[in-house]
Chains A and B, each alone.
Chain A
Amino acid sequence: MNSMHYSPGLGSRVLGTLLMVLSLMLLLVGAMVGSDGFQWPSGDIWHASPVADIVWQIRLPRTLGAWAAGALLGLGGAIAQGLFRNPLADPYLLGSASGASLGVSLVLALFGVSPLALGWLVQLGLTGAAFAGAVASVMLTLLLARGVQHSVRLLLSGVVVGVVLGALSSLVLIRRPEVLQVMQSFLLGGTSFVDWSGSLQMLFCWLLCTALAWLVSPVLDGLALGEATARSLGLPMARVRQLLVLVLGLATGCAVAHTGLIAFVGLAAPHLVRALVRTRSGGALWLSGLSGGVLLLAADLLARGLVAPQELPVGVLTAILGGGYLLWLMRRSVGGVTGAAQ
């Protein structure tokens, strides 16, 4: 008999409250972590002063942005793991990371080449390019899989699209190697220049995507019983799966557009939730978002504060935090990583 031991259910409400309180605390700390490391705020921040500018214009928006991006990635991970019933699924599964990379590398490559392209390229910006690339790659995956009938086919198409677009992106980099430096900063991810509009966009996107996914979450519950059983329960599988894939693309694209490619948050956040509480998919979607936000924000604060005034790439810290947590989870449970059976 399986001897996996679960903690006696914290209850999703308790966990949700805890995560929100933690988020608020970290947001406050975020206002205090900057190029001098951690410092208590002086009274100056309340009237116009250089310090106030820094806190209100730089630190707070990027702190909020880090939380929102983490929330988007956490939601994406929960959707991906529920859709594919695979505990190793992450939000980049359907090729969105490679699509975003390709979009960014194309814009950078063209930007150097053609002054004519300058106008609308600047408008589009790297943010728009990353978003467009991510969403386009998800659409391409849907197209290739010819609908969402079979999870395995969808998964395979996602992998294929990811690999091919990644190769194209490499090709662009080889032809225009000066673009490599900028690509590197994008690939490692970061919140350096997230401003208020960016972070509010991400926050709004998170609320919208979670609400949409929550509305159709009974299908995710049904999927947990197996595809055929879910269909026998009268759930509108195909349409809802298409919707979920689009929501996944939207959420991931939004996060990647503003903060680049950040690994592990999408993978670890749903596991964290599953290990602490047992809840239906609807609740898990909200909680994964909250825990993703906390995870990424904590990593970002460390990235900013550890070697100030230098910054570590936040992707490195999310890997350490998220990967370390997963490792600890694996050692705790005898039967291996928790999650849906294959």
Chain B
Amino acid sequence: MLHFAVWRLAAPAHFLTQMVRVAVATICVLGCALASATAGTNPTADALRDDLGHPLFAGTLSPTTSAPTKVTAPTRIVSLLPSLTETVCALGACDHLVGVDSYSNYPASVQELPRLGGGLNPDIERIVKLRPDLVLLASSSPAVTRLQALGLRVLVWEPQNYADVQRAVRQLALVLGSDAAPEVLRQMESGLQQVKSILGPKSRALRVYIEVNRAPYAASESSFMGELLERLGVRNIVPATLGAFPRLSPEFVVRANPDLIMVSDSDPQRMTERPGWKNIAAVKANRMCIFTPAQNDILVRPGPRLVDAARLMADCINRYAP
């Protein structure tokens, strides 16, 4: 969400443009801080509404029971969020996808599908031309109201943590008319357990620092990666009280002296060159995992591949704390 929020910041410098840019940045920083502070909370407890409160089955709810009376599974699905694309495919409806956003790249079959722009600025015209009967979007996308106004059926989810992923899987399965949900969830849970089991005992003592941006922005306990790390029984040096992706003082990291560093962002500058950082235990012993862009995709998408994400982190931990 952080990456999406500052989309238009690369503007030429000019007095007024500077003001606008700074204003946008302020709003984004504050907004993101606010949003990540409330991340993980389910906006509505109703199991039959999506993240923005849209009913999953509009107009087909029976007045006496909350169960839908008639369900026709969508056959032409457009997905504009990679984690939702992966969820759809995990639930076995991959063949019904007719279009995806430009970031969706897993599984390999979706790479053949028409690309409809980014999640923030999808190509409305092309979406409409595809005549989808279901459009899946991130809650924060500005295209939601536009597509709804054009008469399309739009449902939104934006999973930020494990609980969100589980809910999205269940709800999406309902919508798709798929019964694969319990199996998918079970595999996720057992996969996580299995990954945890391959960790050595020394991993418990590890303290990890996850960096997502060279500013430096860190992933705290309340972020998705932080949550996975916690499930693996490893400690994060950044507490949840600072928000999901706080912009830290580099001093904080030096003081906290992590044993292991995970970097989900390629940075031309080596960490040893940062002033004061060569004294950090992890830097001194070169205990740093730098994830490739493909691995990074897995780590930042709270979706069905979270077991793979956990495995990536576990491999990293095992490498340095057998």
Which residues in A have some Cβ–Cβ distance to B below 8 Å? 34-35, 50, 53-54, 57-59, 61-62, 88, 90, 92, 95-98, 101, 105, 107-108, 111-112, 121-122, 125-126, 159, 162-163, 165-167, 169-170, 173, 177-178, 180-185, 187-188, 190, 192-196, 261, 263-264, 267, 304, 308-313, 315-316, 319, 323
On whether A181 and B265 interact (CB within 8 A), knowing A263-B21, A309-B252, the answer reads: yes
Q: How long is the Cα–Cα vector from A169 to B21 in the complex, in angstroms?
A: 15
Given A58-B254, A181-B3, the answer on whether A313 and B12 have CB atoms closer than 8 Å is no
On whether A180 and B268 interact (CB within 8 A), knowing A58-B254, A90-B15, the answer reads no
CB distance from A67 to the nearest CB of B (A): 16
Residues of A within 8 A of B320 (CB): none
Other contacts beyond A108-B268, A162-B14: 7, CB < 8 A:
A126-B268, A177-B3, A193-B269, A193-B274, A195-B274, A310-B243, A311-B249
Contact A192 B216 (CB under 8 A): yes
| B103 to A, closest residue via Cβ | A177
Shortest A140–chain B CB gap in Å is 13
**Quick check: B242 and A310 within 8 Å, CB to CB?**
yes
Most buried by A among B14, B265, B266, B293: B14
Contact A50 B249 (CB under 8 A): no
Instruction: Find residues 273-313 in chain B having any chain A CB closer than 8 Å to their own CB.
Output: 273-276, 279, 293, 296
Cα A296 to Cα B168 in complex, Å, equals: 46
Q: Which residues of chain B come closer than 8 Å to A159, judged between CB atoms?
A: 12, 14
Most chain A beta carbons < 10 A, residue from B6, B215, B216: B215
* Residues in A whose Cβ lies below 8 Å from that of B274: 193, 195
CB of B268 within 8 A of CB of A121, answer: yes
- In the complex, which residue of chain B has the Cβ closest to the Cβ of A187? B9
B12 touches A165 (CB 8 A): yes
Q: Is B247 an interface residue (CB 8 A)?
A: yes
* A111/B248 contact (C-beta < 8 A), A162-B12, A170-B10, A185-B215 known: no
What chain A residues lie within 8 Å of B29 (beta carbons)?
Answer: 312-313, 316
Q: At the interface, yes or no: B34 with Cβ under 8 Å from chain A?
A: no
- By a CB distance below 8 angstroms, the chain A residues around B3 are 177-178, 180-181, 184
A34 touches B249 (CB 8 A): yes
Taking a contact as CB atoms under 8 Å apart, the answer to whether A316 and B103 are in contact is no
Number of B positions contacting A (CB below 8 A)? 51
Complex contacts, A57 vs chain B, CB 8 Å: 275-276, 279
User: Which of B247, B267, B269 sits near A310, CB closer than 8 Å?
Assistant: B247
Q: Between A and B, how many residue pairs show CB distances below 8 Å?
A: 174
B132 at the interface (CB under 8 A from A): no
Q: How far is the CB of A313 from chain B (nearest CB, A)?
A: 6
Taking the closest CB of chain A, its distance from the CB of B153, in whole angstroms, is 28
Say whether B265 contacts A261, CB under 8 Å: no
Q: Is B189 interfacial (CB 8 A cutoff)?
A: no
- Give the shortest distance, in Å, between B248 (CB) and chain A (any CB): 6
Known contacts A35-B251, A111-B266, A126-B269; decide if A193 and B275 are in contact (CB<8 Å).
Answer: yes
* A195 to B19 alpha-carbon distance, docked (Å): 29
Which B residue sits closest to A112, measured CB to CB? B266
CA distance A133 to B215 in the complex (A): 20
Could you tell me the distance in whole angstroms from the C-beta of A127 to the nearest C-beta in chain B? Answer: 8
Q: Which residues of B contact A105 (CB under 8 A)?
A: 10
- Contact residues in A for B217 (Cβ distance below 8 Å): 181, 185
User: Chain A residues near B215 (CB, 8 Å)?
Assistant: 184-185, 188, 190, 192
Q: What distance in Å separates the Cβ of B258 from its nearest Cβ neighbour in chain A?
A: 14
Q: Shortest beta-carbon distance, A29 to chain B, in Å?
A: 15
Bound: A107/B267 CA distance, A:
10
Question: For residue A88, which residues in chain B have a CB less than 8 angstroms away from its CB?
Answer: 15
Chain B residues in 8 Å Cβ range of A181:
2-3, 212-213, 217, 265
Among residues of B, the one whose C-beta sits closest to the C-beta of A256 is: B13
B268–A97 touching, CB < 8 Å: no
Q: Are A54 and B251 in contact (CB under 8 A)?
A: yes
Please state if B254 and A101 are interface contacts (CB–CB under 8 Å): no
Q: Which chain B residue has the least Cβ–Cβ distance from A305?
A: B249
A304 to B34, CA, bound (A): 19
